[in-house]
A = this chain, B = another copy of it.
Amino acid sequence: MSESSPNKQPDLTRHTLLEAAFAEIHRHGFQAASIKQILTDTGLSKGALYHHFPDKKTLGIAVVEERVRPVLAALMFEPLRDAPEPLTALREIIRAKARTTDALGVELGCPLNNLMQEMSPLDEDFRRHLGELFEEWVAAISDALRRGKLAGEVRGDVNVRESALFIVSALEGCVGMSKNLQSVKTFKSCLAQLAGFVESLRIAPA
């Protein structure tokens, strides 16, 4: 007790900032994201923000690591980790994505993809962090396909790494396309094609 006036929950403040920064960046991109807007949204002040993050760039990278990564992991990596039928699991993830995406999701697109598109050519640090996350994603799918082969689910002639790369690329392409067309419907039909591609990797049932 009698800890003086400062906030007792610095972690909460940090979390609040991260969340608002994520939303602002998601909406406007990193460069156009306004520090002032984040502050207004949170009701905090410059002092709070610059106490937790030395500058805007560090904040941005923290958003990637602490906000984007966990969500991606929960949605894309975990479900594949121990799936007994990895290929089927992958297909179901894609179908789930198609089902759960709504107008807002289509409007703003994938945060990871947005940031990569914008920042990769501009800043090496951003590129490294984003690239690592992307590689993890590809690796998760590669692993799934590899395990699928061992389980007799995936065709033996499939190039695991290249297929995984293509799947992620095509998925991001579908998100981007639907963002531009602002159409949930085309997003779903596009993902259906991707699910078809995934199925084409399966060993034909006797």
Name A's B-contacting residues (CB within 8 A): 27-29, 31-32, 107-109, 113-114, 116-118, 120-122, 127, 130-131, 134-135, 159, 161-163, 165-166, 168-174, 176-177, 179-182, 186, 189-190, 192-194, 197, 200
Contacts and interface: CB of A to CB of B under 8 A. Distances in A.
**Stoichiometry (number of copies):** 4
A143 B116 CA distance: 32
10 residue pairs, one from A and one from B, having the closest CB atoms: A173-B173, A166-B193, A169-B173, A116-B180, A170-B170, A169-B177, A120-B180, A169-B174, A172-B173, A162-B189
Contacts of A159: 189
A10 to B, nearest CB: 15
Given A121-B27, A127-B182, A194-B166, A113 B176 contact: yes
Contacts of A193: 162-163, 165-166
Nearest to A193: B166
